[in-house]
Amino acid sequence: MVEALLARIPRLRLAVSATTRAMRPGEENGVHYWFVSDEEFDRRLRERDFLEYHVFPWGQRSGTLLTELERIASHGSVPLLELELNGSLEVKRRLPEVVTIFVDAPIEELERRLRGRATESSGEIEERVALAHEQRALAPEFDYVVANDDRDRAAAEVVGIVETALAANAAQVG
């Protein structure tokens, strides 16, 4: 979904999240995530450097740094945030003008992808699947819900939503 948005809407730039999890093979600091220690994450929380953050049931933390949004805006681009459910709702609470999209993937597919990736333990996979079931209950809190039952169709729908929102925002500003 993110790749489709970035490819089709050149004004968008992905906001790179900060995370306390370990770097995976092939990942690069500042490209895939900002990899930080627990101590650094705590310090940034105390200094109120996060727009939002999330603590996963397995202990990992991730969040969106305000400096990342400033970096994107300074280049004349629009930030795209890929967030966990509660992070999205927190951003919507703090910035009501943002557009939120809940992408609802079949839970069986999520489990298959996680197992195929082989980067999480069985326990972590079970926790993520349980979390996905809980999150579905909050889907109505989002501006849009897109079923990710067909990747190309879902990507086209999300691109259309974002293009419409950007055009409406440009009309209000201009």
Q: Which residue has the higher pLDDT, 4 or 58?
A: 4
pLDDT at 174: 58
Confidence class of residue 17 from pLDDT cuts 50, 70 and 90?
A: very high
Q: What is the pLDDT of residue 173?
A: 64
Given this model, what pLDDT does residue 109 score?
A: 81
Strands 61-65, 50-55: pairing kind: antiparallel
DSSP string, 70-98: HHHHHTT-EEE----HHHHHHHHHH-TTS
What's the confidence (pLDDT) of residue 6? 97
> What are the structural domains, with CATH classification, of the chain?
2-173 (3.40.50.300)
Q: Write down the H helix ranges in the chain.
A: 2-8, 38-46, 66-74, 85-94, 107-117, 122-136, 151-173
SS3 state of residue 165: helix
Q: Report the length, in residues, of the chain.
A: 174
pLDDT in tens, 81-136: 999 888 999 999 999 999 999 999 888 888 888 888 878 888 888 888 888 888 89
Residue with tokens 């440009």: 170
pLDDT (mean) for 143-170: 95
Note the pLDDT of residue 131: 83
- For residue 169, which phi and psi values (nearest 5 degrees)? -65, -40
What is the C-alpha separation between 71 and 122, in angstroms, rounded? 37
Amino acid letter for position 28: E
Q: Residue 144 corresponds to which amino acid? A: Y
For the purposes of burial, counting CB atoms within 10 Å of the CB of 172, is it exposed (0-12), middle (13-18) or buried (19 or more)? exposed
Mean pLDDT of the 23-47 span: 97
What's the pTM?
Answer: 0.83
- 48-60 confidence digits (pLDDT tens): 999 999 998 889 9
What's the mean pLDDT when you consider all of the chain? 93
Rounded Cα distance between 174 and 90, Å, is 28
